[in-house]
Structure formats: structure tokens, C-alpha cells
């Protein structure tokens, strides 16, 4: 049996224990949604205040040069590159993940016009699917979407494949695809791969260039703590940058925006993935979050993430068995992301009862309760307390009072 004292001891020995104080969380809140919206880095609050007052306020339009606003998409991109195993000049920060998916998928499939199949996991995060459906509508018979079950992906890689789009970590279960193996198989078949790193960046030691990845995207607001709606990142391997064309040919992706030429000519490098003017305040917030994260060892983060999710699973077995929860995350530490998910027929009401007691997880329809762990600010004792609260809710059936409630807009 795991005891409270064991969790206290794990916190005392935690090499990342010093990080939590650099993030703001409301008093008494146990926060398990860092995989959806990361907590506020204290340094980001200061940076944003300074950008507004000292840069926008004092420098006004000269901020584009003097404060480095113009170069921010590639400067911040180079910082993200260090977290995902890419080189400088291969990543830029701009737009949302959805928009970057649109640009990258069209750019990637354009590299191999003889092939038209775009393969994906049919249970991939819906925005990825919707964007591919929209592209199919737009490109007609030049693009055929093939969405298959997760366990059929490997079999579906064949000589027709132009592009495989996969989320490295599944948003529902947290299961991980083997990036190296899959990328290799697709290359053998003559295709390309786009990795969605939304649930990986900042948690895994992702090594895009080591696995020879082609394209990648990911958001800034989950484990990277860049703030609600933070700009997202897009990676294009150096070897593809010259040949690709992306469809949103705005002036910021032009070779010389301030020449004000009448015809579009794309920038030579990663800047060609840009479209319009960067969102400077949001970018500054994200950059401050990255500056705080970059000195921390990703290996230590991944190790703690695995131990936290392991503890969650083990405590649930000991304390919440028999309450009808079915674990859908992998028991295998090596293929489990930084979250634990269970299905339960009363999942929504149970989660509302937890939230009412300041244990914040989330719910994914139809019946999945999720608990993300963020090693920078989640402690072992947080998990001890969360599982204890859940046990009380189940024993007392306190969730019943939430059963008739309508779902909120954001679950
Ligand atoms: C969170 C998430 C997104 C979010 O896309 P936005 O454009 O930022 O809303 C996309 N894909 C995956 C896999 C995600 O987990």
C-alpha cells in the first residue's frame, strides 16, 4: 500500500521541486489540466506588463526594430527548436496549430504531386481531421484523405502515400506513437510525415532531426505554458524548405515585405511559413515561458511525468477500484504521455464534483475523464490528494447532484 508519507518523501527528493514556485496557481487548487492550458509562469506576467508599458507604450512603431518584434517569429522559433530536436532556422512561431496544419499539409503534399493520399488516425484530435477534410474539399481529386484506426496505420503505409499526419501523443488516452519507427517506414514507402506535437513539446525529449522528420506543428499553450491562445510553432526540415509552397501567401512570408512589390515571392527559409503580422504581446508571453523552461532538463521532466502518472494509476487501483473507472491510458510507462484517462459512465458529473472541490481535471466526450500532470508544478502530494478526493466523491455519491447539469461550452 502506498502511504501519504511515501508521497511526501517523493516530493522531498524531487529534483524539479524548485520549479513550482515559478508558476502561479490559485491557493488550494490542484490543477490537472496543464495538458490543455498550462499554468501562468510568473516571468510571463512581468514580461507582458513590460512589453505593453515599455515597448508598445514608449517605443511605439519603432518597437518593430528596436524591441525585436519583427524578428520574433524566428527568434522564438529557434528557442522552440531546442526543445524538439530541430536546428536553428527550422522552426517559426506564428498563427494557431490549426492554421499551421493547413499550410504545412498543403506544402507537404505539394512536394509529391504524383501521389494524393493523406493518411491519418481517424481518432486524431478533431481539428487536424477537420483541416484535412477542408483541404480535400479545396483540392478535389488532388487530395484524398484516408482516416484509419490507430492500429491500422502501419499497414496502411504504401506506395500511394503522399503524407502521413499523426499526433505523437493521443489527446484522449495519452498513448504515444513510435516516431522513429513510423517516420522510417513512411520514408521507405516514399512518403512524408507531419507530426503534431501539441501534447509532446515540453514533456518529451522529441528529436525531430534524429528521426529525420519532415514537418511538425504544435501549440504554445499546453505544456509550454505560453498562455491562452499562444501562437503555435511549425517545423519544416531544412531539406524541404526551398521546394515547398504554402498557400497563405501573406506579406510576412515574402522575401522582402518592405519592398512592397506587386508580386509574391516567398522568403527563402522558414519565414516563408509566415502569413501576417505577428501577435507581439502573445509572442512575448510565450517567449518568457520558454526562457523559464529552457534551462530545465527535459529528461528530468519526462522522468517525473512518468513517475507522477504511475503513482496516479497505482493509487487509483488501491483506493478507487470497484467504482467503475476503466483506465484507457497505457500501463506501459514507455508509451504513456503526461496524462491519465479513465472512462466512466458518469464521467461528466464526477468531474464536476471534483472541480467543485478544487481538483481541476477535464472531460472529453463521450465518457472520458482526463488528468494531465505537469512535472514543473504538479507534486506527488497533489496526486495523493486528488485520488483521495475522488474516493470520497465516489463513496458518498456526491457526484449525483451534478448529474442533471448541462455541459458547459468548454469541458
Ligand atoms: C490542442 C491540440 C490542437 C489545437 O489546435 P488549435 O489550433 O490551437 O486550436 C491541435 N492538435 C492537437 C493534437 C491538439 O492536442
Of 327, 328, 335, 333, whose CA–CA distance to 310 is shortest?
Answer: 333
Of 324, 315, 327, 336, whose CA–CA distance to 388 is shortest?
Answer: 315
Q: Can 380 be counted among the known catalytic residues?
A: no
CB atoms within 10 A of CB 302: 15
Enclosing H/E stretch for 341:
strand 339-343
Q: Can 53 be counted among the known catalytic residues?
A: no
Reported as half-sphere exposure (CB side, CA atoms, 13 A), residue 220 has a value of 34
- Name all residues whose Cβ lies below 6 A of ligand 1: 96-98, 125, 127-128, 167, 171, 196, 198-199, 219, 232
Is residue 212 within 8 A of residue 187, CB to CB? The reply is: yes
Tens-binned pLDDT, residue by residue, of the chain (411 aa): 999 999 999 999 999 999 999 999 999 999 999 999 999 999 999 999 999 999 999 999 999 999 999 999 999 999 999 999 999 999 999 999 999 999 999 999 999 999 999 999 999 999 999 999 999 999 999 999 999 999 999 999 999 999 999 999 999 999 999 999 999 999 999 999 999 999 999 999 999 999 999 999 999 999 999 999 999 999 999 999 999 999 999 999 999 999 999 999 999 999 999 999 999 999 999 999 999 999 999 999 999 999 999 999 999 999 999 999 999 999 999 999 999 999 999 999 999 999 999 999 999 999 999 999 999 999 999 999 999 999 999 999 999 999 877 777 887
Query: Cα(391) to centroid of ligand 1, in Å?
Result: 32
Query: Cα(232) to centroid of ligand 1, in Å?
Result: 9
Query: Cα(61) to centroid of ligand 1, in Å?
Result: 32
- Evaluate the omega torsion of the peptide bond into residue 345 and state whether it is cis, within 30 degrees of 0: no
* Structure-block grid coordinates of residue 370: 482526463
Query: Cα(277) to centroid of ligand 1, in Å?
Result: 21
Report the nearest atom of ligand 1 relative to the CA of 222.
1
Is residue 394 within 8 A of residue 351, CB to CB? The reply is: no
Q: 4-40+298-394: which CATH topology?
A: 3.90.1150
**Among protein residues, the one whose CA lies closest to atom 14 of ligand 1:** 198
Of 239, 276, 260, 283, whose CA–CA distance to 111 is shortest?
Answer: 239
From 22, 47, 222, 271, active-site residue: 222
- pTM here is 0.96
**Among protein residues, the one whose CA lies closest to atom 4 of ligand 1:** 97
The CA distance from 344 to 263, in Å, is 57
Report the nearest atom of ligand 1 relative to the CA of 167.
13
Is residue 216 within 8 A of residue 234, CB to CB? The reply is: yes
Q: Can 302 be counted among the known catalytic residues?
A: no
Buried b or exposed e, range 105-137, using 16+ CB within 10 angstroms:
bbbbbbbeeebbbbbbbebbbeebbebbeebbe
Looking at the domain that runs over 70-293, which CATH code has it been given?
3.40.640.10
Q: Can 125 be counted among the known catalytic residues?
A: yes
**Pairing mode, if any, of strands 362-364 and 368-372?**
antiparallel
Candidate from 37, 171, 201 with most ligand 1 atoms within 8 A of CB, to mutate: 171
CA distance readout (Å), 398 to 7, 147, 181, 192, 356: 26, 40, 46, 50, 10
**Among protein residues, the one whose CA lies closest to atom 11 of ligand 1:** 125
Contacts of 251 (CB under 8 A, 6+ apart): 257, 276
- Domain definitions of the chain by residue range: 4-40+298-394, 70-293
Amino acid at each position: 500500500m502506498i502511504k501519504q508519507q511515501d508521497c511526501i518523501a517523493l516530493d522531498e527528493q524531487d529534483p524539479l521541486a524548485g520549479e513550482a514556485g515559478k508558476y502561479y496557481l490559485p491557493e488550494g487548487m490542484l490543477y490537472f489540466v496543464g495538458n490543455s492550458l498550462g499554468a501562468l509562469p510568473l516571468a510571463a506576467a512581468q514580461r507582458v506588463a513590460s512589453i505593453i508599458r515599455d515597448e508598445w507604450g514608449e517605443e511605439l512603431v519603432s518597437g518593430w526594430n528596436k524591441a525585436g518584434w519583427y524578428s520574433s517569429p524566428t527568434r522564438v522559433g529557434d528557442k522552440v527548436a531546442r526543445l524538439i530536436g530541430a536546428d536553428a532556422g527550422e522552426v517559426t512561431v506564428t498563427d494557431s496549430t490549426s492554421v499551421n496544419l493547413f499550410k504545412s499539409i498543403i506544402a507537404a503534399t505539394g512536394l509529391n504531386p504524383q501521389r494524393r493520399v493523406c493518411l491519418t488516425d481517424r481518432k486524431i484530435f478533431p481539428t487536424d481531421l477537420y483541416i484535412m477534410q477542408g483541404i480535400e474539399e479545396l483540392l478535389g481529386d488532388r487530395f484524398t484523405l484516408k482516416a484509419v484506426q490507430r492500429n491500422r496505420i502501419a499497414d496502411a503505409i504504401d506506395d500511394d502515400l503522399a503524407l502521413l499526419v499523426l499526433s505523437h501523443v493521443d489527446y484522449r488516452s495519452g498513448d504515444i506513437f513510435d516516431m522513429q519507427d513510423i517516420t522510417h517506414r513512411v520514408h521507405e514507402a516514399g512518403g512524408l510525415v507531419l507530426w503534431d506535437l501539441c501534447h509532446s513539446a515540453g514533456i518529451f525529449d522529441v528529436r525531430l532531426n534524429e528521426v529525420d522528420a519532415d514537418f511538425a506543428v504544435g501549440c504554445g499553450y499546453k505544456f509550454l505554458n505560453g498562455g491562452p491562445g499562444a501562437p503555435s510553432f511549425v517545423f519544416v526540415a531544412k531539406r524541404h524548405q526551398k521546394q515547398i509552397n504554402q498557400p497563405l501567401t501573406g506579406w510576412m512570408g515574402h522575401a522582402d515585405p518592405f519592398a512592397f512589390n506587386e508580386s509574391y515571392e516567398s522568403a527563402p527559409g522558414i519565414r516563408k511559413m509566415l502569413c501576417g503580422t505577428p501577435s507581439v504581446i502573445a509572442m512575448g508571453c510565450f517567449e518568457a515561458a520558454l526562457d523559464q523552461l529552457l534551462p530545465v532538463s527535459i529528461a528530468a521532466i519526462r522522468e517525473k511525468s512518468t513517475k507522477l502518472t504511475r503513482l496516479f494509476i497505482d493509487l487509483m487501483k488501491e483506493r478507487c477500484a470497484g467504482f467503475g473507472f476503466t483506465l484507457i491510458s497505457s500501463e506501459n510507462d514507455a508509451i504513456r504521455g503526461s496524462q491519465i484517462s479513465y472512462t466512466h459512465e458518469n464521467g461528466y458529473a464526477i468531474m464536476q464534483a471534483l472541480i467543485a472541490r478544487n481538483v481541476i481535471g477535464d472531460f472529453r466526450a463521450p465518457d472520458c475523464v482526463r488528468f494531465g500532470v505537469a512535472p514543473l508544478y504538479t507534486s506527488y502530494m497533489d496526486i495523493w490528494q486528488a485520488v483521495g478526493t475522488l474516493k470520497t466523491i465516489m463513496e458518498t455519491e456526491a457526484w449525483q447532484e451534478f448529474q442533471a447539469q448541462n455541459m458547459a461550452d468548454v469541458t
